[in-house]
Structure 1
Amino acid sequence: MKRLTKFFSNVVREMKKVSWPKKQELVRYTIITLTTVIFVTVFFALIDTGISKLIRLVLE
């Protein structure tokens, strides 16, 4: 039990040292992340569609 208490005490102490992003930074990082995810999703969807059509064309 003492080890567990010490562990959580250390966690709290380390969390106080963390430099948390400001609201503006967080919003910017979130927008960048979502934009990147959407771009990659559309890119791979287009690649997948193109390869699927190419395979169907070859097999027919």
Structure 2
Amino acid sequence: MTAKVMDWVRQARLFLLDVQAEFKRVTWLDRKQTAAQTVLALIFVFFVAIYLGIVDLALSRFITYFLKFGL
């Protein structure tokens, strides 16, 4: 192998070792906290989807009304 390839392999190995070391330093949430935050995120996404759906419906009716009858 060329020196360039060997250097790339060495750098990739060092990067992966650094990633592994960082993962060991991370404070992970327990299962209960993870589940609670997941539920909150899903509820938030649900309400944002409802809101955007209502805004989309209102704007589409508004535009349709003005295209049909003019200003």
Which residue is equivalent to 1:30? 38
Identity over the aligned pairs, expressed in percent? Answer: 25
Q: Given residue 47 of structure 2, which amino acid in structure 1 is its aligned partner?
A: F
Tell me the C-alpha RMSD between the 2 structures. Answer: 1.0
- What's the offset of the Cα at 1:31? 0.6
The alignment covers a number of residue pairs equal to 60
Q: Determine which of 14, 30, 40 is the counterpart of 2:48.
A: 40
Q: TM-score, normalised by structure 1?
A: 0.89
Q: Determine which of 4, 12, 17 is the counterpart of 2:20.
A: 12
Q: Given residue 61 of structure 2, which amino acid in structure 1 is its aligned partner?
A: K
Bigger radius of gyration: 2
Cα distance in 2 between the residues matched to 1:44 and 1:29: 22
Q: TM-score, normalised by structure 2?
A: 0.77
- What's the offset of the Cα at 1:42? 0.7
Cα distance in 2 between the residues matched to 1:7 and 1:56: 56
Deviations 1:2-59 (A, max 9, x none): 2222111111111100111111110111011111111011101001101111111112
4+ long deviations beyond 4 Å? none
Unaligned runs of 5+ in 1: none
Q: Given residue 17 of structure 1, which amino acid in structure 2 is its aligned partner?
A: R
